Structure 1
Amino acid sequence: MPIYRCKKCGFVCEDAQTPINTQAACGRCGTPSTVYGTVYFVEELVKRLTIATRELQTLKAAAEAAAPHPAPASPGALTSAEQHAPLLQWFAARKIEAQFDYANVDTSGFFDDAAQRLGDNYALFGELIDRVRFAYRKSHSWVNLELGKLPQKDAQAINQLCRQLYEHTFFARYHYQKPEKIVRLTLQTAPAVRQFFDGGWLEWYALMCLLEHARERAAGFSCARGVKVVFPNEDLHELDVVCLPTGQPPICIECKSGEFRRDIDKYLRLRKRLDVDRSRFLICSADLTQEQAAGLSAMYELSFVNLQTLKDHLQRLM
């Protein structure tokens, strides 16, 4: 049922008589108020509540980070303010405001597992990612994969992955036509899944690689994904994946599942503003060959890696 909230007196009321997106007089004070659909109204309330909660968590983390020599956060509590506090303090010491979404490192779901499956066998699963991403961008609701021309082992692996992704709700429907060897997938409409296929999977993959090496080699660490950083002149940037091993400078990974060459100069300036060594500021592209990554690293004061060289590079850093 349509609903409105008066901006003047705060009165909330249902209004079945007034069309959505038009104005009705407030039942309490008479002030004209816009009428919204109930679903839209509730979604907006949830968004504002989420933003307020995040701001409160950031303030709490800042207060905790102000304590002298904070202990490294426990790797097992990735979504806590305490885990993010060392990173928050590192940025604050450079007069940079860092804004975190703690849920971005929540590994209790299936995003991290799916990303590792895709990244560890990108040569085989890369086309699936591209097909799904293309379908989303063209507003298509389905994808058909013809597996008949593939080697039997590869076809079975792709089919098995699609079925598992469906079981974990990455697809709304899955059907395998065995005689024709065609996988029919109906896309999931949830924004989080669309963002995953649109490049989020690579951020998750980089995060899990960082966590693997940090847990094995670092005495402690703080990590985050999708960090918004605001410089003193109010310039806003977003860092895809960041890890701060105890006693070391941070490692920043920018993840690129599409074209990135036009952004090289932007990343050069960002690295210098953060004062991070070129070896610790990585541009990870799934489509680079090892020769291309080595060549770009020699040309620019950045480290370019692909999915095969990412882990080796991290091993050398920690």
Structure 2
Amino acid sequence: MALIRCNKCAHLQEQPDEQIGATVACPRCVNPTQVYPTLFFVGRLLEKYFDAQREIIRLKTTPAENPTQTSGGALSPASPPAVDLSNTTHLVSAQQHEPIAEWFRRKQITIQIENQAVDTTGFFDEVAMSIGGNLPVLKDVLNRIRGAQQRGYSSTVIGFDGKSPEDVRAITSFCQQLYDFSFVAKSIPNRQKNNLLLALQPAAAIRHFFNGEWLEWFALMTCLEYSQERKKRCSCARKLGLTLSNEDRHELDVFMLIDGQLPIVIECKSGEFRQDIDKYLTVRKRLGLNGKNIVLCIAGLADEHAKGLTAMYDLTFVSERGLLPHLSSLF
């Protein structure tokens, strides 16, 4: 069996194995909660247990010092700040981005940081986590919204014929979330016709979100939440512009720097990606990174397909479900 442990109310409960990697509502407080494999969950608990044991031994055997200073008087690294990752402006600060800027300066690469691209005080991150946690069920909703937007329609209809009662409930709940957060103007169920009408929002930010930016938010939040859980320092950027020495320009969807040393590039694709593989190989070589650190997160990619592509290229291919397990293999 898989497990969930709610970060908000600490509720612990078993879940079916087929939900591993999904995000579900906590049965107690309805907070979005990640479903973990049992062995993964137990492994994290054991790591924390042994870390705590080592810390106790260290405190018993080390003379007391000022916790904010080293013996030479320099400030020691502080613990990662405890922030509500889904509702903070902490990430937009120059201080948060400075380790990334310094990392690229050492490589003599000019970057352009879009600070507001990691502002989580809106609802893009919450909706993205809902999508990434249940993409097989919600994919039809995304496709219909995106298709209607591209055709200039003001609404679209989500049909329920052939769908299980559980899937209908999940879709209805998701569409209500879209309405609550103003991603759609209306969400109207029609029981007689067994469908649901969505009146669309024409705002550019909403169009971009459904056109693929949701996956960038999902990748960003997945990495941030995992870093916070592991008590790792994490600097992050989204839509990071690069200007290389030959004046070639690239944009990295998500760039993470863990503890100031471990760089992770996550390129997100909700559509065609094959024509861009050579571009990502060029970026990997210029940044001097291992293929494990350049991650192509492809929405809905089958596990076997991901393994095959990873074996062919010096890059890592994962689906939205495979992103977290790959991160756990890196740090």
Which range, TM-score by smaller chain? 0.7 to 0.9
Deviation at 1:134, TM superposition (A): 1.4
The equivalent of 2:281 in structure 1 is 268
Question: Which runs of structure 2 are paired with 1:168-179 in the superposition (5 Å)?
Answer: 168-179=181-192
Whether the 8 Å contact between 2:235 and 2:260 is mirrored in structure 1 is no
Query: Among 53, 72, 85, which residue is 2:98 paired with?
Result: 85
The equivalent of 1:195 in structure 2 is 208
Deviation at 1:248, TM superposition (A): 2.5
**Is 1:184 paired with 2:184?**
no
AA matched with 1:261: R
Structure with higher Rg: it is 1
The equivalent of 1:205 in structure 2 is 218
Deviation at 1:149, TM superposition (A): 2.6
Q: Distance in 1 between matches of 2:168 and 2:96?
A: 42
AA matched with 1:202: L
Q: Distance in 2 between matches of 1:290 and 1:204?
A: 21
Pair 307,78 (structure 1): closer, same or farther in 2 beyond 3 Å: same
Deviations 1:154-191 (A, max 9, x none): 11210111111011110122211122221111110111
Whether the 8 Å contact between 1:171 and 1:187 is mirrored in structure 2 is yes
Deviation at 1:247, TM superposition (A): 4.5
**Is 1:167 paired with 2:180?**
yes
Task: Give 4+ residue runs of structure 1 displaced > 3 Å after superposition.
Answer: 68-76
Deviations 1:30-68 (A, max 9, x none): xxxxxxxxxxxxxxxxxxxxxxxxxxxxxxxxxxxxxx9
Whether the 8 Å contact between 2:186 and 2:198 is mirrored in structure 1 is yes
The equivalent of 1:117 in structure 2 is 130
Deviation at 1:74, TM superposition (A): 4.5
Question: Which runs of structure 2 are paired with 1:53-132 in the superposition (5 Å)?
Answer: 74=81, 76=83, 77-132=90-145
AA matched with 2:307: A
Deviation at 1:222, TM superposition (A): 0.6
**Is 1:299 paired with 2:315?**
no
SS at match of 1:293: helix
Q: Could you tell me the TM-score, scaled by structure 1's length?
A: 0.75
Deviation at 1:310, TM superposition (A): 0.7
The equivalent of 1:20 in structure 2 is none
Pair 240,70 (structure 1): closer, same or farther in 2 beyond 3 Å: farther
Pair 71,137 (structure 1): closer, same or farther in 2 beyond 3 Å: farther
Pair 277,303 (structure 1): closer, same or farther in 2 beyond 3 Å: same
Deviations 1:90-112 (A, max 9, x none): 01111111111111111111110
AA matched with 1:236: R
Q: Distance in 2 between matches of 1:71 and 1:82?
A: 14
AA matched with 2:268: C
Question: Which runs of structure 2 are paired with 1:225-264 in the superposition (5 Å)?
Answer: 225-264=238-277
Deviation at 1:217, TM superposition (A): 2.2
The equivalent of 2:157 in structure 1 is 144
Deviation at 1:150, TM superposition (A): 1.2
Q: Distance in 1 between matches of 2:136 and 2:228?
A: 27
AA matched with 2:225: E
Q: Could you tell me the TM-score, scaled by structure 2's length?
A: 0.73
The equivalent of 1:217 in structure 2 is 230
Whether the 8 Å contact between 1:202 and 1:257 is mirrored in structure 2 is yes
SS at match of 2:320: coil
The equivalent of 1:10 in structure 2 is none
The equivalent of 1:15 in structure 2 is none
Q: Distance in 1 between matches of 2:300 and 2:168?
A: 22
Whether the 8 Å contact between 1:243 and 1:251 is mirrored in structure 2 is yes
Cα-Cα RMSD: 1.8
AA matched with 1:159: T
Q: Distance in 1 between matches of 2:214 and 2:317?
A: 18
AA matched with 1:281: I
SS at match of 1:250: strand
Pair 262,133 (structure 1): closer, same or farther in 2 beyond 3 Å: same
Q: Distance in 2 between matches of 1:140 and 1:173?
A: 14
Instruction: Report how many aligned residue pairs link the two structures.
Output: 251
